[in-house]
């Protein structure tokens, strides 16, 4: 081994890390402390072997690894270093590492030749030769150490010596002989520094470890061993072997001065230099408060905007002003930089430090800006992330309980906020949020809490999913809830910024000329702050542009528009570095907050943009971040660092350069990454892939979904709520007739089987996905790897793809939604319990309302927030003649309970949020209750008729149906007042209000209690005239069960019906024809109907929600007519199954259906057979571990040859086959 290489210390990102740290043990989900046993061999006996400073080098490496929890375990050597001493040291490591993760570090000399390798150790005294320590011995000690370890802990073994690569190859070979390389829980990371059959260089291991660790930032809470291995692999002079560390515990990072900011890479480095220089700074204390994830988006050398700051200060001082100030302007005008500068002025203690460091000119005096209590970076964020950040800052831990909606968590914050007095919130990049409309709604709700003032930075963009609506509208500009302040170009500031930024980069006259040109371009509107900053950054990277010789190049730069400036920057960044363009393209196509460097995710996406598919190395990312530090933003998500482009304009330009084929290539590359990591290290998919792989597939269109379906392993790693949201959103945007070929059966099967998968083991997911595909498409895809059992064939009833939600333990008796555009709904079961659902956030209920003992549910209603601000509310009528009202915004909490003289069979919400509820029941009971009263009590009208149901029309009127009439009531007074009535031919037991009728209300009804097969319509005008409308609409040969109105394209009214044969139909009321027919996949009974808004980005779409009084499940359907689902097996359910043998020995199964028929099928493939000569031939049952629920209870089963089992389930029959290791006779 030679001496230290020059620059071995370069790249060491941390200094001052203690050699030993206070022990904190280890947690259940990470390694907090890693004892490191060093074996430094400094001196040797052989004349040809030079002594090395191994002890000093081992101390340096241990100190460097201190940021990962490394703690030195001293080597107390009572005898000289020889084979015996080293063997004792390794035995101490094997036993002394204990049950936890530990490290072994060997520094010294070695040699390898052919298939032999050894590490040199001084022989005993008076021996002029050196002994050899062989790989087999190290492998045996590692085997011993493994015997002491607890589950998921692992060993890090590092050797720096000549021939270390060959030595580690042989250690791995010995472990293979010991069968540890096939053991998924062995857990060892082997790192060798020193070429095979060649020299090693003292300091190489340290230098490469330092460079790799520098790639982690303060957003990385932990370092996973598999990721560490992948970043070290391929580094100069290193060989890396990972054995079974894919699911091992990560190491917890311990940075010296944590700086988890959202900033450009360039500014992150500047801020770290500031902290390193200032030590215990005000900025450090500010960040430790947890106020924000970083000091907004600070702009180096910020100047100007004096008048804009004064406008903000005046708004903050004006208590009568709206509580939201939207800072808006054209793309690139400098909104984020301005907000960052506001933060400096609001916190002068950090502003002064940042001003000194160059982040702005002298602070403006006399503004009187109050400090901000929280700063929110909204790029890539969804409402749940935003509210979680607020809860973390303001301290309402109960609100973080799993499953609660953002609104309920926000309400839970109110007590904490009220104790703080005025609360000031700064939020930026609303237009870059993952769901900008929903986040805007959340911010508007936040600003309505007492004492909250909110500044929001956003483009004034229109929202694609809501034509004609802008983000300013969503914040409440048009309703007086928000005020907009538009930033415009500031030529004087542009001139000052250029002059100050380039002062030290060239000739003053040349700098002055650039400054004047920038001011002129901003003045004429051709540039904004973004373009000015681009010019400055490019000159900083190429200061020679300011020399006379390159004046023509400078002039060309200064005449370019925004696109041209971006092209110039890209040309510089990618010069002789083609991988840079591919890495930047990957950032332009990221989802969420950004793409992680960890687990090769970023580099894998980049490889999809390379013509030859070459994946950039981790060193290429380091090189890019050096060249493009000003253009790449650093952020955190899911406890890891993510990167994205600094400005949306850049991302838009780069996305325009790539076609749909590249987006498909991204999906293919990411699925291959999942497959590779699973096969190599049994590693689970990175959290980015679990959450966003289905989003990448959706962005790539039908071909993207096919790529995802082709990798069932990757498909099975995706998070079910994200997959369900993306699949249903994809269906809603497909052309008519496109679903079957556009969305593969594997994908639709995962959607349909989602509730079964959630309750089962991972090894059950492939088989359940197959059953879902059979039910959805009639096709049987392959199960794929990882299955403990799979479907050989099946005959199951088919139905349209849908999302199934489960939570109730008793059948569902009622459904209700707050309004037509609500993305949440409520369900009530016969035991009186009620659940609140947000299907695009979670497949589990987000709130559960208990029912009273022995009092079932008779009626359910969902009320939006009342005039007094209470709510949203859920009213539940029970069989004990009580009505309970629950506030489900935070809790839920019961806010009212009152008795009624009879059972309440129907409730209607007064439209418009007045908090008034109308109740109906037997003996002509019609009453109104004002929920804003201190003690709400129902006040009834004189009994009239026998009302079956009630429908709210507007803020003043409701309509009830009796045995013989429709009755119009005015409910604005103390008691309901009967206004008008119209006779009906029969009882309208089901009545619904149709949406989108303008000044007139239109109702549809049917005698669902009397077997009606037609729908009747009525019109109600503004003068209380209730008129029978048109002829009835025939609905087919089956009895109607229930009706519901739903908004169609362009807000045209449509009608949903369910019929006794289990079919859900969507009707076009203009043509009076059915446009969609959906077969239910479970019991029908008294079907229940409601609607819910579509997934994010398609919230304007309304989806039907169904339930049955005979079933505990709830289903959300796509109503668009993509394809007919068909009924290949009719409506019969499987009741029993028997193994048979035909006369020729063919194995058969006979299925008994619930309609009394029997059919016989070939056990091999399900082909129907005649039963002549067949005889029963039962086999002993296989002892196989199947899920409790296969889409319904297993009613019967029969063992078949080769470990197969035929099962009769509620909707058919399937033959399942198990892996040999899963079956037992």
Of 130, 140, 128, the residue nearest 108 (C-alpha): 130
Q: Decide if pLDDT at 22 tops 50.
A: no
| Rounded Cα gap, residues 695 and 1170, in angstroms | 48
What single DSSP character describes residue 1067? E
Least-confidence region, from 515-519, 627-631, 731-735: 731-735
As beta bridge partners, residue 803 has 1116
Top pLDDT among 1063 and 590 is at: 590
For 629, list phi and psi in degrees, rounded to 5: -60, -30
What single DSSP character describes residue 197? T
Q: Is 992 exposed, middle or buried (0-12, 13-18, 19+ CB in 10 A)?
A: buried
| Rounded Cα gap, residues 716 and 708, in angstroms | 10
| Rounded Cα gap, residues 955 and 928, in angstroms | 13
Give the CATH number of domain 807-1117.
Answer: 2.130.10.10
| Rounded Cα gap, residues 720 and 803, in angstroms | 10
Residue 395 · residue 311 · CB < 8 Å: no
- Look up residue 868 and give its two tokens: 């007094």
Strand residue runs (E) in 797-892: 802-805, 812-817, 825-829, 834-837, 847-849, 857-863, 873-878, 882-887
| Rounded Cα gap, residues 561 and 1125, in angstroms | 54
Of 1196, 1211, 1060, 1215, the residue nearest 1132 (C-alpha): 1211
Average pLDDT estimate for 1138-1162: 89
Residue with tokens 């928000």: 482
At residue 256 the predicted structure's pLDDT band, cuts being 50, 70 and 90, is low
Q: Is 264 exposed, middle or buried (0-12, 13-18, 19+ CB in 10 A)?
A: buried
Top pLDDT among 1091 and 72 is at: 72
Q: 34-252 with 263-487: one CATH topology?
A: yes
Mean pLDDT of the chain: 83
At residue 584 the predicted structure's pLDDT band, cuts being 50, 70 and 90, is very high
CATH topology of domain 263-487: Rossmann fold (3.40.50)
| Rounded Cα gap, residues 510 and 508, in angstroms | 5
Q: Percent of the chain beyond pLDDT 70?
A: 86
Least-confidence region, from 167-181, 314-328, 689-703: 167-181
What single DSSP character describes residue 372? P
pLDDT at 13: 29
pLDDT at 663: 94
| Extents of the domains making up the chain | 34-252, 263-487, 498-570, 807-1117, 1134-1222
Phi-psi map region of 958: left, alpha, beta (phi>0 left; psi -120 to 50 alpha): beta
Strand residue runs (E) in 429-587: 452-457, 462-463, 466-470, 482-487
Of 574, 607, 577, 575, the residue nearest 589 (C-alpha): 607
Q: Decide if pLDDT at 52 tops 80.
A: yes
Strand 1063-1068, strand 1073-1079: pairing: antiparallel
3-state secondary structure 655-671: HCCCCHHHHHHHHHHHH
pLDDT in tens, 422-458: 889 999 989 888 778 878 888 988 888 888 999 999 9
Dihedral (C-alpha) 851, 853, 854, 855: value to the nearest 10 degrees? -40
pLDDT at 293: 40
Q: What 3-state class would DSSP assign to 728?
A: helix
Q: What 3-state class would DSSP assign to 714?
A: helix
Q: What sign has the CA pseudo-torsion 1022, 1027, 1031, 1037?
A: positive
Residue 1100 · residue 800 · CB < 8 Å: no
Q: What 3-state class would DSSP assign to 1165?
A: coil
pLDDT at 199: 62
Of 931, 972, 928, 975, the residue nearest 950 (C-alpha): 928
pLDDT in tens, 819-878: 766 778 999 998 888 998 888 777 778 788 888 888 889 999 998 877 776 778 899 999
At residue 136 the predicted structure's pLDDT band, cuts being 50, 70 and 90, is very high
Cβ within 8 Å of residue 484, ≥6 positions away? 325, 326, 328, 460, 472, 477
Q: Decide if pLDDT at 477 tops 60.
A: yes
| Rounded Cα gap, residues 1171 and 281, in angstroms | 87
pLDDT in tens, 671-690: 999 998 887 767 788 999 99
CATH 3.40.50.1460 fits domain 34-252: yes
Q: Over the Cα atoms of the chain, what is R_g? A: 35
């Amino acid at each position: 081994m030679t001496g230290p290489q020059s620059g071995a210390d370069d790249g060491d990102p941390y200094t001052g890390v203690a050699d030993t740290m206070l022990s904190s043990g280890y947690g259940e989900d990470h390694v907090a402390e890693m004892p490191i046993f060093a074996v430094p061999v400094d001196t040797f006996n052989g004349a040809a072997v030079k002594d090395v400073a191994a002890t000093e080098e081992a101390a340096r490496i241990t100190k460097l690894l201190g940021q990962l929890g490394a703690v030195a375990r001293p080597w107390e050597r009572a005898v000289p270093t020889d084979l015996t001493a080293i063997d004792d040291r390794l035995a101490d490591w094997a036993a002394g590492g204990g049950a936890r993760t530990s490290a072994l570090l060997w520094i010294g000399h070695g040699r390898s030749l052919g298939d032999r390798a050894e590490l040199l150790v001084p022989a005993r005294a008076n021996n002029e030769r050196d002994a050899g320590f062989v790989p087999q011995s190290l492998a045996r000690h590692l085997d011993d150490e493994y015997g002491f370890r607890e589950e998921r802990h692992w060993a890090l073994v590092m050797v720096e010596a000549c021939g270390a690569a060959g030595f580690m190859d042989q250690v791995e070979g010995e472990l293979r002989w010991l069968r540890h390389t096939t053991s998924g829980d062995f857990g060892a990371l082997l790192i060798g520094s020193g070429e095979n059959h060649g020299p090693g260089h003292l300091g190489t291991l340290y230098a490469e470890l330092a460079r790799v660790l520098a790639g982690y930032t303060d957003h990385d809470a932990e370092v996973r061993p598999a990721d560490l291995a992948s970043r070290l692999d391929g580094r100069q002079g290193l060989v890396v072997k990972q054995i079974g560390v894919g699911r091992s515990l990560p190491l917890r990072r311990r940075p010296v001065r944590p700086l988890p900011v959202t900033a450009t890479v360039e500014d992150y480095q500047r801020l770290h230099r500031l902290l390193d220089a200032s030590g215990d700074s005000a900025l450090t204390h500010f960040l430790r408060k947890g106020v924000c994830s970083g000091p907004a988006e600070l702009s180096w050398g910020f100047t100007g905007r004096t008048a804009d700051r004064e406008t903000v200060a005046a708004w903050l001082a004006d208590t009568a002003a709206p509580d939201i100030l939207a800072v808006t302007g054209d793309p690139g005008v400098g909104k984020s930089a301005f907000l960052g500068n506001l933060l400096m002025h609001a916190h002068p203690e950090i502003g002064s430090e940042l001003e000194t460091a160059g982040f702005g000119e002298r602070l403006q005096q006399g503004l009187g800006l109050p400090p901000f209590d929280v700063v929110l970076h909204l790029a890539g964020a969804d409402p749940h992330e935003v509210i979680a950040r607020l809860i973390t800052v303001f301290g309402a831990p109960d609100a973080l309980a799993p499953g609660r909606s953002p609104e309920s968590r926000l309400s839970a914050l109110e007590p904490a906020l009220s104790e703080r007095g005025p609360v000031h919130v700064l939020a930026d990049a609303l237009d870059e949020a993952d769901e900008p409309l929903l986040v805007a709604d959340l911010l508007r709700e936040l600003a309505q809490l007492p004492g909250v003032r909110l500044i929001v930075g956003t483009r004034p963009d229109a929202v694609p999913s809501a034509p004609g609506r802008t983000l300013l509208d969503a914040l409440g500009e048009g309703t007086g809830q928000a005020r907009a302040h538009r930033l415009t170009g500031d030529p004087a500031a542009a001139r000052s910024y250029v002059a100050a930024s380039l002062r030290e980069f060239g000739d003053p006259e040349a700098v002055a000329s650039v400054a004047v040109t920038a001011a002129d371009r901003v003045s004429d509107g051709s540039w904004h702050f973004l373009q000015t900053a681009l010019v400055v950054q490019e000159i900083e990277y190429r200061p020679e542009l300011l020399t006379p010789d390159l004046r023509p190049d400078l002039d060309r730069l200064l005449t370019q528009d925004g696109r041209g400036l971006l092209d110039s920057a890209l040309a510089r960044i990618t010069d002789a570095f083609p991988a840079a363009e591919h890495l930047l393209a990957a950032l332009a196509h990221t989802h969420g907050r950004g793409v992680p460097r960890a687990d090769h995710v970023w580099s894998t996406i980049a490889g999809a943009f390379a013509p030859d598919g070459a994946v950039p190395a981790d060193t290429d990312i380091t090189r890019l971040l050096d060249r493009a530090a000003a253009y790449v933003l650093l952020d955190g998500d899911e406890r890891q660092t993510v990167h994205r482009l600094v400005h949306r304009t850049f991302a838009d330009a780069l996305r325009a350069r790539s076609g749909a084929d590249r987006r498909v290539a991204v999906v293919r590359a990411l699925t291959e990454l999942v497959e590779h990591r699973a096969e190599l290290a049994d590693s689970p998919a990175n959290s980015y892939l679990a959450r966003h792989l289905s989003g990448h597939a959706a962005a790539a269109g039908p071909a993207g979904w096919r790529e995802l379906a082709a990798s069932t392993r990757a498909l099975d790693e995706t998070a079910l709520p994200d997959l369900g949201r993306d699949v249903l959103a994809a269906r809603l945007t497909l052309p008519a007739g496109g679903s079957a070929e556009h969305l593969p059966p594997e994908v639709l099967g995962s959607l349909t089987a989602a509730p079964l998968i959630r309750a089962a083991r991972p090894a059950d997911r492939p088989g359940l996905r197959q059953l879902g595909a059979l039910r959805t498409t009639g096709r049987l895809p392959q199960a794929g790897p990882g299955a403990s059992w799979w479907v050989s064939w099946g005959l199951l009833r088919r139905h349209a793809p849908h999302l199934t939600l489960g939570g109730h333990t008793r059948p569902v008796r009622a459904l209700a939604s707050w309004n037509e555009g609500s993305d949440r709904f409520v369900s009530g079961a016969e035991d009186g319990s009620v659940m609140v659902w947000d299907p695009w956030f979670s497949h589990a209920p987000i709130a559960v309302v208990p029912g009273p003992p022995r009092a079932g549910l008779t009626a359910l209603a969902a009320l939006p927030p009342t005039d007094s601000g209470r709510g949203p509310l859920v009213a539940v009528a029970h069989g004990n003649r009580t009505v309970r009202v629950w506030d489900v915004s935070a809790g839920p909490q019961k806010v009212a309970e009152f008795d009624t003289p009879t059972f309440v069979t129907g409730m209607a919400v007064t439209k418009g949020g007045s908090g008034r509820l109308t109740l109906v029941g037997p003996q002509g009971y019609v009453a109104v209750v004002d929920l804003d009263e201190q003690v709400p009590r129902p006040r009834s009208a004189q009994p009239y008729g026998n009302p079956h149901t009630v429908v709210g029309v507007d803020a003043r009127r409701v309509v009830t149906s009796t045995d013989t009439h429709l009755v119009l009531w005015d409910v604005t007074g103390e008691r309901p007042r009967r206004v008008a009535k119209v006779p009906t031919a029969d009882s309208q037991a089901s009545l619904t209000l149709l949406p989108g009728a303008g000044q007139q209300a239109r109702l549809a009804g049917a005698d669902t209690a009397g077997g009606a097969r037609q729908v009747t319509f009525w019109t109600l005008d503004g003068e209380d005239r209730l008129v029978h409308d048109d002829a009835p609409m025939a609905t087919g040969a089956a009895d109607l069960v229930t009706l519901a109105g739903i908004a169609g394209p362009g807000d045209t009214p449509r009608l949903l019906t369910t019929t006794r044969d289990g079919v859900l139909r969507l009707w076009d009321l203009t043509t009076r024809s059915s446009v969609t027919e959906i077969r239910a996949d479970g019991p029908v009974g008294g079907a229940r109907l409601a609607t819910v808004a579509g997934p994010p980005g398609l919230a304007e779409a309304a989806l039907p929600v169904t339930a049955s009084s005979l079933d505990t499940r709830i289903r959300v359907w796509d109503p668009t007519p993509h394809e007919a689902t068909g009924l290949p097996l009719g409506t019969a359910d499987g009741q029993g199954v028997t193994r048979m043998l035909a006369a020729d020995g063919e194995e058969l199964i006979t299925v008994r259906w619930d309609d009394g028929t029997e059919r016989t099928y070939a056990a091999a493939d399900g082909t129907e057979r005649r039963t002549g000569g067949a005889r029963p031939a039962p086999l002993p049952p296989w002892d196989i571990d199947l899920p409790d629920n296969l889409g319904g209870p297993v009613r019967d089963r029969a063992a078949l040859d080769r470990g197969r089992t035929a099962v009769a389930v509620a909707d058919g029959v399937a033959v399942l086959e198990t892996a040999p290791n899963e079956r037992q006779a």
